[in-house]
């Protein structure tokens, strides 16, 4: 049980880099993937999810890459997360009961709705710019290390 999938974690971290470069400046997926030690093609694939919602744009060919399509102020973390993972987390019942709703609530409905709403509000009200500003040295230096599942 983990909140964000690995792909989303890669995506967020890559977007921090793009944000620091500035809107419109293209960086290749392989450059972005390098500090993550993730397969660049995989990162590229994840980033593709952000094209349709207009968060990033891409340019092929020499000196091409991925660039931020809007000002980092105008991109919320909610936009990013749901573009990659969808919004089922914010939609479905805690117990997975399909009839659960305001009219016929499951025992968790109200309380979980509040907790989840807090997370939703937070993600919606935090911009990529803020995230990038908060970024500690661990992201810029080589300290970044993602947890990988141990081989069994």
Partner DNA sequence: CTATATTCTAATATCAATATACGATATAGA
Partner DNA sequence: TCTATATCGTATATTGATATTAGAATATAG
Structure token digits, residue 79: 């936009």
124 touches its own copies (CB under 8 A): no
Q: Interacting stretch for its own copies, rule CB under 8 A, among 22-30, 43-51, 54-62, 118-126?
A: 118-126
Pairing of the two strands 56-59 and 65-68: antiparallel
Q: How far apart are CA 121 and CA 67, in angstroms?
A: 26
Residue listed under structure tokens 């690995």: 6
Is residue 141 classed as helix, strand or coil in its secondary structure? coil
Site for DNA in 13-32 (CB under 7 A): 28-30
Residue with tokens 């937070």: 122
- Between 85 and 130, name the residue whose CB sits nearer to DNA: 85
98 binds DNA, rule: CB under 7 A: no
User: Could you list the residues that contact DNA (CB under 7 A)?
Assistant: 1, 5-7, 28-30, 38-42, 44-45, 47-48, 51, 58-66, 148-149, 151-152
């Amino acid at each position: 049980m983990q909140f964000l999938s690995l792909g989303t974690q890669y995506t967020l971290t890559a977007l921090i880099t793009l944000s620091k470069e500035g809107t419109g400046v293209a960086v290749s997926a392989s450059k972005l993937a390098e500090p993550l030690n993730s397969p660049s093609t995989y990162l590229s694939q994840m980033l593709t999810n952000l094209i349709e919602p207009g968060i990033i744009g891409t340019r092929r060919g020499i000196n091409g890459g991925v660039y931020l399509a809007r000002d980092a102020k105008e991109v919320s973390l909610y936009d990013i997360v749901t573009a990659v993972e969808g919004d089922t987390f914010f939609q479905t019942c805690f117990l997975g009961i399909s009839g659960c709703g305001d009219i016929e609530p499951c025992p968790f409905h109200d309380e979980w709705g509040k907790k989840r709403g807090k997370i939703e509000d937070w993600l919606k009200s935090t911009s990529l710019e803020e995230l990038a500003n908060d970024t500690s040295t661990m992201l810029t230096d080589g300290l970044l290390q993602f947890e990988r599942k141990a081989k069994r």
